[in-house]
Amino acid sequence: MAIITMRNSRLGRPLSGTRLSSNDEDYDFNPAEGADIPIVINQSGRGSSVPRSYYDALARAAEANAATNAVKAQAAFDKINLDAFKFRQEQDLAAAALARQQAGAAEQLKYLQSQLGAGIPKEISGNIDLQAKEGEDFIQRQAAELLKQLQARETASRGLTQTGFSNLMNYLARTPPTAFAQAQRAVPTITQSGLGQYMAAQGVSPAAAQEAATLANIQAAGGASNYNQLLNVLAAQEQAAQSSRQREAEMGLATQLATLQNIYGGATSGLEQSRLSALAELRSRIANARLLAQREAAARNQAIQDAIAALLATGLIPAGGTPPVVPPVVPPVTPTMTPDAALAALNQLAPTNPNAPVDMMLRSIPAPDEVARLIALAQQSPQYTGGGSGLGAAMGNTAVMV
Amino acid sequence: MAFDPAIYEAARRSLFNQYAQQAAMNAYNRYLAEVRGQRPILQMEEAAFGRTASGGLGQVPKLTASYGRRGLQGMGVRSGIYKQALENYARQRERGLGYAREDLASSLRGFDLTGTQLQQGLESGLADLERTKARQIAEDAQALLNLR
């Protein structure tokens, strides 16, 4: 005795469960139930008492009881056609869903392809360009305004300096030193002896007195001359100091103007340096923004490509223009069919995608040999041979819808 | 420091005030010196001739009167002693007057020189003030240019 998992199916499905029941009303068919339950088969001979499936059980029962063959066969065919009908419905729904998915996928592909290689969005690119232009204009305006203010300050400073030193030079020219130059010069007092005339009247020579007066006059003249000479020297020094002041003012003006020019040049250079630095900073930021936008665009492009690849990988998009999958037209299974024709029709119900949900429904389709046996039994029944309105009429009226 | 004209006006007034005070003091001292210098001159002149009732100098030196009382001088009398004494007196008198006048003149010239120096100091101070003002204006202008 061996333990075998039955997978006897031309459709590549596992064999149905082994649940058996003689009462059809209690039958609650579950195709998946018991699919993996190992079935113990007595391989000692054909007379094994364990049916392989529900249809096998029906066939055995029909064979065992000819009177009930017609009913059993009718039930079996009804079951087959009902399962096929359900399968057909599922397949139609699946086909419709597949068509919708394919249409959606085609639209999605179309959209993704339209977005592919779009590059930086125009709004972002335009915004970056606008920021670059406005930023540069702002920097240029600021620099121009600062330069204008600097020039105004330089003009004002130069004017103030010139005014200050001009006032000084005008003052020096307008007020020459006069203290020593115009100082009262000493005039020696020349005196005569007051006793000369009296001495002459007294018969005394005035020479001695006059001599003393002359000496005094000489002394007075010397003193006055010295004083005047001192005043002249001091006046010359005073004039020299005035000239020195004037030259100092002129030199101070020139030096101060040169200093202002130097400061102005330095400030102008610094301003220009600041302007260039600001422009460089702005351009660096703009370049970084463009680079970031390009990076994001590349990432988005890559994501779109990945999405297209994933979409193509689903198989919903026909490669090379392959038309969408169309379910095959399956002829109805009727008792008038030959077993081969019925099997052929049933085999066409096999899904193209083995992982499709409808595959679960296919598990309810009986095995080929069971179908053949059921057809054979049905063709032997009185209704089929024209004896009544039972199985044959029912079989004819309940053809599998395709 | 920002330029403030009021500061320089105050400094100008201070210079003038200082000059006025010192010049006034110098003028007063000159007056005192002149008075002091004139006094010995006047004394020497008065010593020779005395004073008249009206306050002027007399016509006859007082020296003559003393010699006359001793009979060495008078109408028709001309002694050698008197002549010699008169010569000596006249020589010393002129020499003394010369010294006194020169001392007075020198003293007054010193005050005049001081007054002139005070005036020169005032002029120099005013010029320095103008220079400082111009320099301050230049520094303020430079600070204005250095504003950021």
* pLDDT tens digits for range A297-319: 999 999 999 998 998 888 887 76
Helix axes A122-174, B80-146, angle to 10 degrees: 170
Q: Which of A161, A193, A219 sits opposite B90 (nearest CB)?
A: A193
Interval A275-301: pLDDT, tens: 999 999 999 999 999 999 999 999 999
Residue A40, by phi and psi: left (phi above 0), alpha (psi -120 to 50) or beta? beta
CA distance A142 to A126: 24
B98/A212 Cβ within 8 A: yes
User: Which residue in A has a C-alpha nearest to residue B76's C-alpha?
Assistant: A202
| Interface A-B: count of C-beta contacts within 8 A | 178
The pLDDT-based confidence of B66 (bands split at 50, 70, 90) is: confident
Q: What is the average pLDDT value for chain A, to the nearest integer? A: 76
Region B54-77: mean pLDDT is 73
A208/B98 Cβ within 8 A: no
Ranked by mean pLDDT, the top range of A45-49, A81-85, A354-358, B60-64 is: A81-85
CA distance A193 to B45: 11
Q: Who wins on pLDDT, A130 or A200?
A: A130
- The pLDDT value given to residue A14: 41
B47 has a chain A CB within 8 A of its CB: no
The pLDDT-based confidence of A321 (bands split at 50, 70, 90) is: low
Q: Who wins on pLDDT, A131 or A6?
A: A131
Q: Which of A145, A147, A160, A245 to mutate to test the interface with B (most CBs of B within 10 A)?
A: A160
The pLDDT of residue A320 is above 90 = no
The pLDDT of residue A35 is above 90 = no
A160/B137 Cβ within 8 A: yes
The pLDDT-based confidence of A34 (bands split at 50, 70, 90) is: low
The pLDDT of residue B63 is above 80 = no
Query: Residues 146-165, chain A: which have Cβ within 8 Å of B?
Result: 150, 153-154, 156-161, 163-165
The pLDDT-based confidence of B59 (bands split at 50, 70, 90) is: low
Smallest Cα distance from A131 to chain B, Å: 28
Query: Residues 66-125, chain A: which have Cβ within 8 Å of B?
Result: none
B119/A194 Cβ within 8 A: no
The pLDDT of residue A56 is above 90 = no
- The pLDDT value given to residue A356: 43
- The pLDDT value given to residue A332: 62
Region A150-174: mean pLDDT is 94
B141/A156 Cβ within 8 A: yes
Count of CB atoms situated within 10 Å of the CB of A59:
26
CB neighbour list of residue A184: distance below 8 Å, 6 or more residues apart: B112
The pLDDT of residue A398 is above 60 = no
CA distance A318 to A323: 6
Q: Who wins on pLDDT, A292 or A340?
A: A292
Query: ipTM of the predicted structure?
Result: 0.86
Residue that is written with structure tokens 């596992």 in the block = A14
Q: Which of B116, B128, B139 to mutate to test the interface with A (most CBs of A within 10 A)?
A: B116
Interval A213-263: pLDDT, tens: 899 899 999 999 999 999 999 999 999 999 999 999 999 999 999 999 999
A158/B105 Cβ within 8 A: no
- The pLDDT value given to residue B45: 79
B147/A180 Cβ within 8 A: no
CA distance A235 to A243: 12
Region B66-87: mean pLDDT is 81
The pLDDT of residue A81 is above 60 = yes
User: Which residue in A has a C-alpha nearest to residue B64's C-alpha?
Assistant: A202
Q: Report the range of poorest mean pLDDT among A38-52, A212-226, A258-272.
A: A38-52
The pTM score is 0.60
